[in-house]
Amino acid sequence: MPKNQENSKNEKHQENQYRNFKQIVNIFYNEEIEEMGHNEQIILKDKGTVRLEPQIIYDKFSGDMKVEFKIGNQRMYKIKDLSEFYTRMLKREFYQYGEKLQFVHTREMFEEDSKPLLDFILRYAEIIKYANSNSNSNYRYYGKALSETNILLGNSGMDELFDILEGKKVIFQKDYHSHEVEFTEEQPNIEFKLKKIKDDLYSILPSVEIFQITIMKGKKYKYVLQDKRLYRCTKEFENTNLKLLELFRQNYMTEVLLGKEELKQLFSVVIPKVKNAIVMENIAAEELEPYRPKELEVKVYLDFDENDFLIAEVKFCYDKNEFNPLNEQLELEFPRNMIQETKVLNVFRKTGFMFDGKNLRFILPNNDKIYEFLTEDINYYMQKFEVLATQKFNTRQIKQPKMGSLGVKVENNLLSIDFKNLDIDVKELEEIMSRYVLKKKYHRLKDGSFIRLDGNKEIEFLDKLVTGMDMDYQQLEAGEVRLPIHRSLYLEQLLKGLKGTQIAKNATYKEIVNGLDKEQLEAEINVPENLDSVLRYYQKTGFKWLKILDSYRFGGILADDMGLRKDHSDVVSYCRLCSKYKGRR
């Protein structure tokens, strides 16, 4: 092969061999060149001047609402593809929309007022992008999963967009007509008028053309489009004025007629529900006074029956008229607030009360519900109603048992604890403690009253005392418990957890617990001279501990982790210092 041909072949081989590397170099080099170009564009374009403008399109037939966007500064351009816009922002790309708009897509390029809207667009554009990129997996014959030119507003999207645009004016397209609409937190001007047509005939009329108003639903709110304003309705307005308007619309009514006899129901049921939605027009107040109910007052009489079930008798009062609302046989002529009455009766039902038809009263037979009522619900009842209770009810309150006072003494080498002033019937103590171990909130005593168990320091003390000292509850019935003297330290730790209990301790007991104090141990007990120089600090502490145990006739055991070298002859010396340990190793 000629040399020239061989060289040419080698060059081509080398070029193919390094092609991939050259491609990497070109990519990074070209990106750097583009970045330089971008920097020039940024210089030409001031930061923070790009703005976004939304345009809302409403379809009255489907109820769908979608929003499109324009972008620009001196001139506005429509964002034709939200997915591409999302990609530009993600990759910080340079893009030219037209002669008047070209910039690198960074957040800093947008004016402050547009940044919340920018975040909104990016959040939904990301969904659009990835929904469409996976649309093939849904076996679609044509088209994309979501439109890329606009965002279809769902319930949550409506609430989010309103938060961003509140107080602003936005182009709104409806019925192929576009105009500016202001987003406002004010309430729309929708009310209803009660008018007198003639002596025995009245009518309720809406103040607006009911089908000229557009109602939209968000996730948390409802919205009303009226007179070039989009109102976000409060829950109160939604449940009163707007609810009445929707009833008119659903039944295609523009007027509701009623006679004098219906006025009682109007003021008894309708007006209490819609509150100030209905205003009176050209009707004298005294003419309607006989139909307006007086203020409702509620009396609740609490008691316990022979089964210790909680009972509640209820009385409703309108001025001087008092009656039992559970008696359906009553025929009352005076006007009543039926809505408020129903709400009151529902309070009892939610609390757990059941209807006692025989006695026309409420009854609460469940112990858990009774306990919950006495600890929590009764406070609400006392705020809302006039509550009266019998003496029997007052004796069934929640009890917080107290020790009263405790006597602790040491005599005849025994520890004695006096429980005679214990504010608990010791015959029920075992049952009480069994429920405490099961972590129950309360225990109901035989007299019908309750003892709170959770967070009860006195009950906790008794539990630790009985379980920690291997006692049984029968020992407490005698009123005095005698225990080995070495239990004094454990008892003293338990007594520290009792607050508000008077504890009488005799001198011997005090001497024991005080003598075992570490500081006194260090100060009062000396190590013999022949051992002081050979023992380490922790061994000296062990020696002192054995010594003081012996002085109070307590038992003690030499353990491996005490560091006292039981296999050493020195330990034998320690043990011979006290008769109790003589001969032990």
CA dihedral (173, 175, 181, 186) in degrees, to 10, reads: -130
Q: 10 falls in which pLDDT band (50, 70, 90)?
A: low
The answer on 301 and 285 residing in a single domain is: no
Higher per-residue confidence, 150 vs 536:
150
Which residues, in sequence order, are CB contacts of 431 under 8 Å at separation 6+? 443
The pTM (predicted TM-score) of the whole model is 0.66
Higher per-residue confidence, 524 vs 236:
236
Cα–Cα distance measured from residue 67 to residue 147, given in angstroms and rounded to the nearest whole number: 11
User: What does the block give as tokens for 332?
Assistant: 């009352």
The answer on 261 and 192 residing in a single domain is: yes
Per-residue confidence (pLDDT) for residue 572, from 0 to 100: 47
How far is residue 117 from each of residues 129, 160, 448, 580, measured CA to CA in Å? 18, 10, 64, 86
The answer on 496 and 385 residing in a single domain is: no
In a domain, 430, yes or no: yes
In DSSP notation, 313-338 reads EEEEEETTEEE-TT-TT----S---H
The answer on 363 and 416 residing in a single domain is: no
In DSSP notation, 482-503 reads EEEGGGHHHHHHHHTT--S-EE
The residue among 248, 293, 297 whose CA lies nearest residue 272 is: 293
In a domain, 40, yes or no: no
Per-residue confidence (pLDDT) for residue 540, from 0 to 100: 67
Q: 571 falls in which pLDDT band (50, 70, 90)?
A: very low
Render pLDDT for 178-227 as a digit per residue (tens, 0 to 9). 999 999 999 999 999 999 998 889 999 999 999 999 999 999 999 999 99
Higher per-residue confidence, 556 vs 271:
271
Cα–Cα distance measured from residue 547 to residue 525, given in angstroms and rounded to the nearest whole number: 8
End-of-domain residue from the set 515, 534, 553: 515
End-of-domain residue from the set 259, 291, 323: 291
In a domain, 39, yes or no: no
Cα–Cα distance measured from residue 341 to residue 314, given in angstroms and rounded to the nearest whole number: 11
Half-sphere exposure (Cβ direction) of 157: Cα atoms closer than 13 Å: 18
End-of-domain residue from the set 394, 412, 446: 394
Q: Judge whether residue 520 has pLDDT over 80.
A: no
Going by their DSSP bridges, the two strands 76-78 and 192-198 should be labelled as unpaired
Q: Judge whether residue 328 has pLDDT over 80.
A: yes
Render pLDDT for 464-483 as a digit per residue (tens, 0 to 9). 888 888 777 777 777 788 88
The answer on 362 and 309 residing in a single domain is: yes
In a domain, 180, yes or no: no
In a domain, 179, yes or no: no
Over residues 10-21, the mean pLDDT reads: 62
Cα–Cα distance measured from residue 460 to residue 464, given in angstroms and rounded to the nearest whole number: 6
Cα–Cα distance measured from residue 429 to residue 577, given in angstroms and rounded to the nearest whole number: 45
Q: 579 falls in which pLDDT band (50, 70, 90)?
A: very low
The answer on 416 and 389 residing in a single domain is: no
Cα–Cα distance measured from residue 329 to residue 389, given in angstroms and rounded to the nearest whole number: 27
In a domain, 109, yes or no: yes
Per-residue confidence (pLDDT) for residue 358, from 0 to 100: 94
How far is residue 77 from each of residues 91, 199, 422, measured CA to CA in Å? 21, 64, 86
Q: What is the mean pLDDT of the chain?
A: 83
Q: With left for phi above 0 and alpha for psi between -120 and 50, is residue 439 left, alpha or beta?
A: left
In DSSP notation, 410-471 reads EETTEEEEE-TT-SS-GGGHHHHHHHHHTT-SEEE-TTS-EEE-TT-HHHHHHHHHHHHTT-
In a domain, 214, yes or no: yes
User: What does the block give as tokens for 36?
Assistant: 């330089």
Cα–Cα distance measured from residue 352 to residue 215, given in angstroms and rounded to the nearest whole number: 39
Higher per-residue confidence, 528 vs 576:
528
The parent domain of residue 260 ranges over: 185-291
In a domain, 306, yes or no: yes
Longest dimension (CA), the chain: 128
Which residues, in sequence order, are CB contacts of 236 under 8 Å at separation 6+? 275
Higher per-residue confidence, 224 vs 580:
224
Higher per-residue confidence, 41 vs 164:
164
Task: Using the Cα atoms of residue 492, residue 493, residue 495 and residue 499 in order, give the sign of their dihedral.
Answer: positive
The answer on 325 and 228 residing in a single domain is: no
Q: Please give, one letter per residue, the 3-state secondary structure of 245-262.
A: HHHHHHCCCCCEEEEHHH
The answer on 266 and 193 residing in a single domain is: yes
Per-residue confidence (pLDDT) for residue 33, from 0 to 100: 46
The answer on 498 and 411 residing in a single domain is: yes
Asked which of 156-170, 360-374, 402-416, 442-456 is least confident by mean pLDDT, the reply is 402-416
Render pLDDT for 45-99 as a digit per residue (tens, 0 to 9). 568 899 999 999 999 888 899 999 999 998 999 999 999 999 999 999 999 999 8
The answer on 270 and 286 residing in a single domain is: yes
The answer on 408 and 472 residing in a single domain is: yes
Q: Judge whether residue 141 has pLDDT over 50.
A: no
How far is residue 115 from each of residues 100, 151, 288, measured CA to CA in Å? 21, 17, 56
> How many domains would you assign to the chain?
6
Q: Judge whether residue 228 has pLDDT over 90.
A: yes
The answer on 464 and 379 residing in a single domain is: no
Higher per-residue confidence, 366 vs 484:
366
- In terms of average pLDDT, the best of 318-327, 440-449, 501-510 is 318-327
328, burial (CB in 10 Å: exposed 0-12, middle 13-18, buried 19+): exposed
